[in-house]
Structure formats: C-alpha cells, structure tokens
Amino acid sequence: MTLEDYYLKLPGFIKFNPKILKLSFDVTDRIKQSNGISTKDYLLKLSEESEVNNLRRKFRQLYVELLIFVDNVCNKHDIDYWLGFGTLLGAVRHGGFIPWDDDIDLVILRKDYNKLIEALPKELEEHDLKQSCGLTLLLENRKNYFGDFNSVYDVEDKDGNLMIDGKYNFLQIAWLKPFVKIDIFPFDFIEDDRLDEIYGKFAPTQYRFYDDMLRNKVKFADRIDSARSEVGFTDSKTRQFSDTIEGVPHWKIRVFDYDKTFPLESIEFEGYKFKCPKDCDHHLTSMFGPDYMEFPKVIENHNTLELIEAQFASTEEMDNAFEGAIELFKNINKTF
C-alpha cells in the first residue's frame, strides 16, 4: 500500500485535522524529493538516449495535436481556458514541455468548465473519435459522467491488464493508445469577504470530499455545492479565484487576481500558440514561488513513457500507432 492508502485508514478526527493534514503533505513532499532524480543527471541521460528521445518526440507531437483539438473545441464554443501549472511553466521557461514533464494541464473557470463538459463529447462524436479517446468526469462510485464513453482510465497493457487507478474528479480527455492525457481543472471565484478564511478551510474540506468520494460515502452532486460553499467559493464574479474542490488534493491553495488573468493572451508552446494569463509571472509566482525560472535540483520521476511502452508488443507497433494517431488528429485539426 502507498502512504496515501495508510493515511486514508486513519480516523477522521486525525486525518482532517489541519495541522496533521499539513504535516502529511510535507512528509509526502519530502519522500518525493528523496526518491527523485537529480535534474542534472536526468538531462545528461536524456541527451545520450536517442531511442528515448525519438519516443518522447512522437509522444509530444500527439500531445500537441490533442491540445490543438481541445483548443479548437473551446474556440468554437466560445470557451476560455489557459495553460496551467507545469504546462504554463514549460511554455514560459522552455517554450514547450518541461524536459522531464509528460502531461498537459489546462485551467478553466467554472462557467466555461460546465460548457466544456457538454461540448467535448459532442465534438468527439462528430469527429468520429469516440472509440479512440477516453473522456472522464468521475462521480459517485467512480462512475463516469460520460457513461457511454471510454474512460481515460481504460488503459491496458499489451496483455489486457488495466494500468491506471481512476480516482480524480476533474475533467480529463485522452487518446487511449498510445496514451496521452490532458487534465482540465476547474477554478472557482472566492467570496471577497471570505478570502482570509479560505487558507485554513480549503485543504481539510477538499481532502474530506476526496476521501468521501473514494469511499463512496456521498454522491458527487449532493456534496460538491455544499463543499464549495463551506470554503467560500461562489459562482458570482469576484476579484480573485483559485483551485477548487475537484482537483488533486494538496495543502497550499493558489489564489489569483482576475484582473491579472483577463483578458487572456497567447503564448508559444511547442511551436503553436495557446491561451495564457495576461500576467504569467503573477500565476507562476503564486504556484511555484519567485524562483520559478530556476531548475529544481531534484525532479519527480514520471512514468507515462514507460506506461506507453507497456501497451505495445514491439517498437514498430508503437511507432505505427503514434504515426497513425498524429496523422488522424492533424487532418481533423486542419479541417475543424
């Protein structure tokens, strides 16, 4: 069992105590650091492995085509989104992916998030992508809101064994084989007169919501609005917004100014332009601190490329799958 599995077994009065919860996240972060890889060693190894670089290049090409598809959907339906978290950092610091990163994160305010939930399945069907793509928004009992779609967690190795444990409640879209996935996180406005209290309430409320959903103790629709209200989130436009309840549980809430975000601008990512906040420095400093342009000494070892390799019986089969998926998306995106 993982450290998180053990933590979830603790009594509620312990695991939802703010001080204990913060300590658990601090311990988890230290473990990740201790199990991480030297950034210098990783970059040196990367420069010497041509086969890995070839896989990484195709992996990123497919990722970008999937991102362009989502961008096209958002533009068609008048939906604002922007590059978030490590994807935004990669765009600013590297002009694309962070060298050791292997995912894409998007951020979207609640009103547009709800519009995208309705738009994405229609566009996947219209462009005959329903069988090849996964689309997931997990509700109670880990049921997918998109009941007649594949889940992004329906990822099998070459022997037919599922490889990913589905547990998060934010919107996700993926090309299933070879596997690339985009996480789309909703952000919520914060009531102006409750900004100070949100820092102490956010993590315990979010983690309790996450725990209840994993244990199937509550229904998503019955709990989400009360959890958001408990913290101080609102559907009304205010001066600031932040991460919300549906996300990867963490201790530090990141608060952003509306006027430093909108109107959105564009930034280059892997040779294409995508939406970004008006003030990227404001967002990146809030997420990563003022030294975000500096490389970390240690990085977490992502394993998506290893997962993809396990999907195929041979390198040739994998290469053909990448080329076919990239070509398909290129044609769709050209005529969208």
The verdict on residue 22 lying in a domain is no
| DSSP code at position 230 | H
Q: What is the pLDDT of residue 39?
A: 78
Question: In b/e form, how buried is each residue of 294-316, taking b as 16+ CB within 10 angstroms?
Answer: eeeebbeeeebeebbebbbeeee
Task: Give kind and range of the element (H or E) at residue 187.
Answer: strand 180-190
The predicted model scores a pTM of 0.90
Q: Looking at residue 52, what is its pLDDT?
A: 65
Indicate whether 138 belongs to any domain.
yes
Cα-based distances in Å from 125 to 95, 132, 266, 316, 333 = 32, 11, 28, 29, 15
Residue 297: inside a domain: yes
- What residues in the chain have per-residue pLDDT under 50? none
Query: What was the pLDDT predicted at 12?
Result: 66
pLDDT tens digits along 262-316: 999 999 999 999 999 999 999 999 999 999 999 988 887 667 888 999 999 999 9
What confidence score (pLDDT) does residue 160 get?
A: 92
Domains contained in the chain, number: 1
**Tens-place pLDDT, residues 207-245:** 888 888 888 888 888 889 999 999 999 999 999 999 999
Tell me, yes or no, whether 249 lies in a domain: yes
- Rounded Cα gap, residues 279 and 281, in angstroms: 5
- The one-character DSSP state at 158 is T
**Could you give the angle at which helices 195-214 and 220-231 cross, rounded to 10 degrees?**
160
Specify if 30 maps to a domain: no
What's the whole-number average pLDDT of the chain?
Answer: 89
Helix (H, G, I), strand (E, B), or coil: what is residue 36? coil
Question: What is the number of other CB atoms lying within 10 angstroms of the CB of residue 19?
Answer: 7
Instruction: Give pLDDT, residue 232.
Output: 95
Domain-embedded: residue 12: no
pLDDT at 8: 63
Can you tell me the distance from the alpha carbon of 130 to that of 190, in angstroms, rounded to the nearest whole number? 36
Q: 20 lies in a domain?
A: no
d(CA 88, CA 65): 17
DSSP string, 65-106: HHHHHHHHHHHHTT---EE-HHHHHHHHHHSSS-TT---EEE
Q: What pLDDT does residue 20 have?
A: 67
Residue 308 domain-assigned?
yes
By CB neighbour count within 10 A (0-12 exposed, 13-18 middle, 19+ buried), where does 196 fall? exposed
Residues 279 and 256: their CA atoms lie apart, in Å, by 10
Nearest-angstrom CA–CA distance, 140 and 236: 27
Exposure string for 71-82, b = 16+ CB within 10 A, e = fewer: bebbeeeebbbb
Q: What is the pLDDT of residue 212?
A: 85
The range of the structural domain enclosing residue 324 comes to 36-334
Q: Which of 243, 238, 273 is nearest to 259 (CA)?
A: 238
Q: Render 271-327 in DSSP notation, one character per residue.
A: TEEEEE-S-HHHHHHHHH-TTTTSPPSEE----HHHHHHTT-SSHHHHHHHHHHHHH
